[in-house]
Chain A
């Protein structure tokens, strides 16, 4: 009985670790669990759209909850990227305010993206965030089932047997 309790606690701890790691860096949850290949896939497939989105949109507008709170909410599942991006956004904002107070001329196009780049940036960032929700849930599922994916009930019977064995 105590051994069973300890196993359950281990599973819970592993799930929390995997979920948190996946939230900080996409794929890190799977890496912690030993699924190195899947970790690389998640890392690349989520980091790429996030990076492209932020590079096209710029941090000033696209990691700023005061400008677009819904987009920021969608980005939050990639916490390890969104938190530094938000800090950078605040820095840019303050820097621009200071320069405006000094009477410097600022070309806002250097900091803010407009159509069509803004559309693409928004779609890429939101998609990256939502994809990382899948990655987090999958990491938690694999931590709890000993390596089976989120949709393990739909696996072929042979794969299921292999997983159980």
Chain B
């Protein structure tokens, strides 16, 4: 039962975790947001040709929204740090 799964080349790619630099953590947001925007938009269109512009708009919306939320949390953190 065990070795045949390990013998699959596709499975082997996932056995040993890939190295991941700490600086890349924040940048990993962008591809994930692109995927979320694409799937979300795909559930709202009749044809795929309606997608590109709407997906870009949703992508920008999410990134800007996340940035604003991060900024708000940063401001709150700074205020709390200075007052205590």
Q: Which A residues are within 8 Å of any B CB, using their own CB?
A: 35, 37-38, 40-42, 44-46, 48-49, 52, 54-60, 84-85, 87-88, 90-92, 94-95, 110-113, 116-117, 119-121, 123-124, 127-128, 131, 134-135, 137-138, 147-151, 154-155, 159, 162-163
- List the 8 shortest-distance A-B pairs measured between CB atoms, nearest first: A37-B48, A117-B20, A58-B17, A113-B17, A45-B38, A45-B35, A91-B5, A88-B11
Some 7 contacts from A to B, beta carbons below 8 A apart, are A58-B15, A85-B11, A112-B17, A116-B22, A134-B40, A149-B46, A151-B44
**In the complex, B32 has a CB within 8 A of chain A:** yes
Binary interface encoding of chain B residues 11-38 relative to chain A, with 1 for a CB under 8 A from any of its CBs, else 0 = 1011111111010010010011011101
Q: Which B residues are within 8 Å of any A CB, using their own CB?
A: 1-3, 5-6, 8, 11, 13-20, 22, 25, 28, 31-32, 34-36, 38-40, 42-49, 51
> Contacts A45-B35, A60-B15, A95-B6 given: A149-B22 contact, CB under 8 Å?
no
Whether B32 lies near A149 (C-beta < 8 A) is no
Known: A85-B14, A117-B18; 11 extra A-B contacts, CB below 8 A, are: A41-B38, A41-B39, A55-B18, A84-B5, A111-B16, A119-B25, A120-B28, A127-B36, A135-B42, A138-B43, A151-B43
> Contacts A134-B43, A151-B43, A159-B46 given: A91-B17 contact, CB under 8 Å?
no
